[in-house]
């Protein structure tokens, strides 16, 4: 296991867990996670092209500024979501190095990169940007700001107020709605056809997945994440994507509550010799850069899994870009997998 990965596991317990570590009538029966997050309302957000700005984040903290901020620094995934709504940022942090040089549709070369891996955050560069607000996600119940290093968080906090969007223990639709509200508060045109069309496509994809899950209730799905020495099997109760998919009817194979308790509810780690402990027809594999991808897994026990032999392995994005446009594909991919999967378990 790499040092980066180990740091994720010991300090957040999320890299494997999040991998193994989201409206309409179609979503009405998906649970009421708005109650968990508090949802969004006019009282929480204030948007104007000029004049005061405020936003109440998912820690219950209300950030107030004299004007709508334009000097924004954000976790790269949040920055990419805001970009989809027409909001630009000046700087980003988090895993940014990609083959095409983009995060979603956002060109990384057009922004200042403050850090690319876990623990990296150039405070001096951050200060030089004269940030008005820092925005990131949160993957625990304590309100820990994702990818803001513990050792420099106090210095960072003194330079600008922060906004945290929770991606913990709620369905995908909740952070989608929260980022929508945030973008709207920052002046985004949420009536633009690009925006409204993306939301409609997401709703259609969700309806498709619900129908596929209902038509194929016998297809068992496992969410996994690969490291050099261990294979992680995710529970579905804390991850925004898995909670949502489960609410739509997807039949997940997952560890017992007592086993998950050891990792704070996120995952069970297995040796590669025991990777066949759970029987599955479709395997969703963590696609983040710190994990080993299916094509690079050499263990014979993996290659012998029925789902692997049947070619029924798909990618999973445990840290999705929270815009409707970017979440369409992940819903459609799972729907297609259920529609076409053979029963092999």
The pair of three-digit structure tokens given for residue 31, joined into one six-digit string: 């649970």
Would the pLDDT of 8 be above 50?
no
Question: Tell me, what's the pLDDT at 319?
Answer: 92
pLDDT confidence bin for 233, thresholds 50/70/90: very high
| Least confidently predicted of 28-42, 130-144, 250-264, 268-282 | 28-42
pLDDT at position 20, please?
A: 36
Q: How far is CA 156 from CA 76, 137, 141, 220, in A?
A: 17, 16, 21, 44
Q: Please, what is the average pLDDT of the chain?
A: 88
Residue % of the chain over a pLDDT of 90: 81
Burial class of residue 182 in the structure, from the number of CB atoms within 10 Å of its CB (0-12 exposed, 13-18 middle, 19+ buried): buried
Residue 140: is its pLDDT beyond 80? yes
């Amino acid at each position: 296991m790499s040092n980066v990965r180990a740091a994720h596991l010991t300090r957040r317990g999320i890299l494997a867990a999040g991998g193994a570590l989201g409206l309409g009538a179609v979503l009405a029966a998906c649970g009421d996670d708005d109650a968990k997050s508090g949802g969004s309302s006019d009282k929480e957000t204030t948007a104007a092209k000029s004049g005061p700005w405020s936003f109440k984040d998912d820690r219950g903290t209300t950030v107030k500024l004299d004007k709508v901020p334009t000097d924004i620094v954000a976790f790269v995934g949040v920055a990419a979501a805001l970009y989809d709504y027409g909001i630009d940022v000046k700087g980003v942090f988090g895993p940014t190095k990609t083959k095409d040089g983009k995060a979603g549709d956002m060109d990384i070369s057009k922004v200042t990169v403050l850090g690319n891996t876990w623990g990296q955050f150039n405070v001096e560069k951050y200060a030089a940007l004269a940030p008005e607000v820092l925005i990131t996600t949160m993957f625990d119940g304590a309100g820990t700001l994702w990818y803001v290093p513990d050792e420099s968080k106090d210095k960072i906090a003194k330079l600008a107020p922060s906004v945290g969007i929770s991606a913990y223990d709620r369905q995908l639709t909740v952070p989608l709605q929260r980022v929508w509200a945030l973008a709207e508060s920052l002046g985004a045109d949420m009536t633009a056809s690009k925006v409204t069309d993306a939301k409609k496509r997401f709703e259609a994809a969700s309806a498709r997945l619900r129908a596929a899950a209902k038509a194929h209730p016998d297809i068992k799905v496992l969410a996994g994440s690969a490291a050099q020495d261990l294979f992680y099997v995710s529970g579905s109760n804390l991850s925004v994507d898995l909670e949502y998919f489960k609410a739509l009817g997807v039949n997940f194979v997952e560890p017992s509550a007592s086993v998950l308790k050891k990792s704070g509810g996120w995952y069970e780690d297995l040796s590669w010799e025991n990777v066949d402990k759970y029987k599955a027809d479709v395997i969703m594999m963590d696609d983040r850069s710190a994990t080993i991808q299916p094509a690079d897994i050499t263990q014979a026990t993996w290659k012998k899994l029925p789902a692997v032999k049947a070619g029924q392995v798909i990618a999973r994005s445990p840290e999705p870009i929270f815009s409707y446009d970017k979440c369409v594909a992940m819903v459609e991919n799972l729907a297609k997998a259920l529609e076409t999967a053979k029963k092999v378990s």
